[in-house]
Amino acid sequence: MYMEWARFHKADENGRHYFQTYSYPQVWAAATPKEPGTGRISEAAALAYSIICAAGWQWQTPCHCVECTVTAKSAQRTTA
């Protein structure tokens, strides 16, 4: 089974950015209506598919935008 993945930019309660990523079967994604303007399935559909499919996964990766990088470096300096 071929898998597809979608990544959504989010922020936690402390304002730190991260990417929430979901993997799900490619054939399911092909049969799902796409979000207008993005050309991809909705986050709700991606979440549901990643839960329903035995091969589906969910994971978070940190954001490395300028704002997040500056915040991380500032936090390192205060703890050192």
Q: Tokens at residue 52, please?
A: 């329903």
Q: Which residues, given as ranges, of the chain have pLDDT below 50?
A: none
The whole-number pLDDT of residue 16 equals 82
d(CA 60, CA 53): 18
The whole-number pLDDT of residue 62 equals 87
In the chain, domain spans: 3-79
